[in-house]
Amino acid sequence: MWHIKPLTAADLGALEALLHANPLRLSTLPAVRDQLAERIAAAEQGFAGLDGEATLLFGLRDHEDSLLGVAGIQPYAGGDEPFYSYRIDELVHASRHLGINQRQSVLYLSHELTGLTSLCSFSLTPSLRDSQAFELLSRSRLLYIASHRHAFADELVVEIQGIWDNEGQSEFWKNVGELFFGLDFITADHQCALHGKTVIAELLPPYPIYQTLLSAAAQQAIARHHPGAERTVRWLEHEGLYKTRFVDPFDAGPTYRGRVDDLASLQSLCSVTSVQQGQPTRSTPLLLAQGTGSDFVCRLVQGDLQADSLITDTDLTDTRPGLVLPLETH
């Protein structure tokens, strides 16, 4: 049975292997053993309520407790540092004498999204991306937020991977960041993951960047998501998040945003006071979240809601109250 639990130090080796096997590199979770150990330790402190700024890391596991996926929540984007993005905007250039009036698309360096709750660090075994495991790993984070509503912001933000070539390089980065960093995309992304996004403010210009001065390929990459993120985008849009004017400063991938309390999953949640083993009248797939903090667990079960109880034929020993979400695939 697939289930979600917080990562612990015992998951270090499995997490490193999982990240190395994923074709989509995670800038928020570098596959460097020492760094991963620090991230897991910080997450454990966060689950224990000792660090409200740590990124919380959740692991997808099978019936043998093997790690099949990871996903994160940053309670307040940026933590104690600004959370940088480029904001797509327009400037008007006009000459009354020449009769010319032009609108130019520009990119402004912004930290407007700092402090919103961020969903991040999603990595799933490729063979499971089209299964219900994707829904469990994605949406279990929303159930955790609902169970600990006081610990998160009112709005959610999600950065999506942008367009990379077959070698993992970004045409947008070649035209913008590489000119100021002197580093290729992979190296710069890795360094930012290790040292934080303050390096962006230190090295990128604070002035608007005119899109017309970029190559055609770089312009076309702005606000476009990587093909491998298609299902994530469909899920976010189903939840009610919308595509913003903000893009990632490294690969120009799109950023989605929405109000937490308006999300489709939170609107569909039911509280149950008991979980009972039995033969349900109508068995449907459900997500069942129980426990708080480091004791949180979210399972994919088959069952039926009856009043304030869940009747399930899934073999469960945990009968604690919890939150139940009917599972829909997108």
> pLDDT tens for residues 245-281?
999 999 999 999 999 999 999 999 999 998 888 887 7
Residue 226: active-site member: yes
Backbone angles phi, psi at 185, to 5 degrees: -60, -50
Pick the range with the lowest mean pLDDT from 13-17, 56-60, 154-158, 314-318. Answer: 314-318
Alpha helices in the chain (DSSP H): 12-21, 33-47, 132-147, 171-175, 177-181, 185-195, 198-203, 216-221, 230-239, 264-268
pLDDT value of position 78:
83
pLDDT value of position 292:
94
Pick the range with the lowest mean pLDDT from 3-12, 23-32, 300-309. Answer: 23-32
The overall average pLDDT reported for the chain is: 91
The residue whose two tokens read 């993005």 is 85
Average pLDDT rounded to a whole number, residues 234-244: 97
What radius of gyration, in Å, describes the C-alpha atoms of the chain? 21
Share of the chain above pLDDT 90, in %: 64
Q: What are the tens digits of pLDDT across the range 287-316?
A: 999 999 999 999 999 989 888 888 888 888
- Give helix then strand counts, H and E, for the chain: 10, 16
Catalytic residue, chosen from 190, 226, 238, 330, is: 226
Domain definitions of the chain by residue range: 80-114+158-264
CA 82 vs CA 168, 229, 273: distances in Å: 26, 25, 41
Please determine, for residue 142, whether its predicted confidence score (pLDDT) is greater than 60.
Answer: yes
Q: What are the tens digits of pLDDT across the range 111-134?
A: 999 999 999 999 999 899 899 999
Average pLDDT rounded to a whole number, residues 183-203: 81
d(CA 266, CA 149) in angstroms, rounded, equals 11
CA 141 vs CA 74, 134, 229, 254: distances in Å: 11, 12, 18, 21
CA 68 vs CA 26, 40, 111, 124, 139: distances in Å: 16, 16, 33, 6, 16
127: phi > 0 → left, psi -120 to 50 → alpha, else beta; which? alpha
pLDDT value of position 219:
96
Q: Which of 75-79, 106-110, 281-285 has the highest mean pLDDT?
A: 106-110
